[in-house]
Amino acid sequence: MSEKNINKICRMFWGLIGCLSFMQISVWLQKEDLMGLSEVSGWVAAYVFLYFFVFSIIDSGIDNMASFHQTYNQQNLSKSFLGGFIKNKMNFSKGYKLMFNVGFLFMLFFRVRNGFF
C-alpha cells in the first residue's frame, strides 16, 4: 500500500473520529439547554466529516479512475476527454470538492435564514 493511500485512510479515520467527537459535544450541549451552541457543534461535525472523509473518497475515486485508464485503456488516452481528464485530474477533484462546499454553504445559509438559534 502506498504512502498516499495510507494518508487518505488516516484522513478518513480522523474525519470519522472528529465527526463523532463534535456530535458528542452537541449532545452534551443539548443537555445543558445550550441549543444554539449544540447546533453549531452539529454543523461543525458535518463539515469535519465532509472535509476529511468525503473529500478523501473523492480523491481516491479520481486517482483510481485515472490509474485504471492508464493501465487498461492506453489506446484511448489520446482521445480528448480521457486525455484531458488524466492531465487535469486535480482540477476535477477540486471541482467536485467545490460543489460539495457550495452545497454545504447553501444548507447552512438556509438554516441560518430560518432561525439558527
Give the percent of the chain with pLDDT over 90.
Answer: 68
- Res. 49 pLDDT band, cuts 50 70 90: very high
Do 11 and 52 meet the contact criterion of CB atoms below 8 Å apart?
Answer: yes
Residues in the chain: 117
Calculate mean pLDDT across residues 78-104: 93
Residue bearing cell 490509474: 67
How does residue 111 score in pLDDT terms, banded at 50, 70 and 90? confident
Q: What is the pTM of this model?
A: 0.84
Beta strand spans in the chain (E): none
Q: How many domains does the chain have?
A: 1
- Which helix (H) or strand (E) covers residue 73, if one does? none
| CB atoms inside a 10 Å sphere around CB 62 | 17
Structural domain span for residue 77:
3-113
Q: What is the pLDDT of residue 116?
A: 62
If you average pLDDT over residues 5-22, what whole number do you get?
94
Closest CA to 56 of 113, 4, 105: 4
